[in-house]
Amino acid sequence: MDEPRSIDPIADRFARWCETVVAHLPFGLRRLVPPTFLGFALINSGTFGVDLALLTLFRGGCGLPIWLAVTMAYVCAFTVSFVLNRILNFHSHAPVGRQAAKYLVVIAINYFAFLLGVGGGLAALGVEYHLSRLLAGACEAVFLYSALRWVVFRGRVAEREPEFTPDATCGSSPGIAGPVTHD
């Protein structure tokens, strides 16, 4: 029987690609932008697209109330975000239960503060629901990256990342590439 293939090679390629892109950033940004921030931006941009598509389907296509459409789309999108960030971006091999519990708390705070607070508040004030969702999404991005990096998936990558200084040749960066375990 063939052994199952590991996802780690894909995650390692994703990490190396993010490191390479960050190493080519102009104006000294390579010293300020961690590779996991780029990974987060890519993953969450995709899942935000899923969120908006499902919101449109649930609200526009199914006619669900805005609060229910937003909630259902949000739950689906952030489930995908958790899995992709855990595997591809933060390379976590820690027990999923503890991380999922932390993630649920982060998502609950995010949901009430940004989705219902900012997004729902703007929609209630008459701002078109796609636009209100985009504005809430900008607030979410800052909060979520910070929470994922320093709370949910905290560990060796997050601790070492501020020291990330890629060289001009974009060679491998010591201490960044490779499998990492998290608590």
Residue 49 has pLDDT above 80, yes or no: yes
Q: Write out pLDDT tens, residues 7-45.
A: 588 888 999 999 999 999 998 888 888 999 999 999 999
- The predicted model gives 159-169 an average pLDDT of 43
| Distance from C-alpha of 31 to C-alpha of 52, rounded to nearest angstrom | 33
- The whole-chain average pLDDT of the chain stands at 81
Q: How confident is the model at residue 157 (pLDDT cuts 50, 70, 90)?
A: low
Q: Write out pLDDT tens, residues 112-129.
A: 998 889 988 998 999 998
**Two tokens, residue 147:** 């929470």
Amino acid at 85: N
| Distance from C-alpha of 176 to C-alpha of 171, rounded to nearest angstrom | 12
- Indicate the SS3 state at residue 182: strand
Out of 3-7, 16-20, 51-55, which region has the weakest mean confidence (pLDDT)?
3-7
CB 39 within 8 A of CB 14: yes
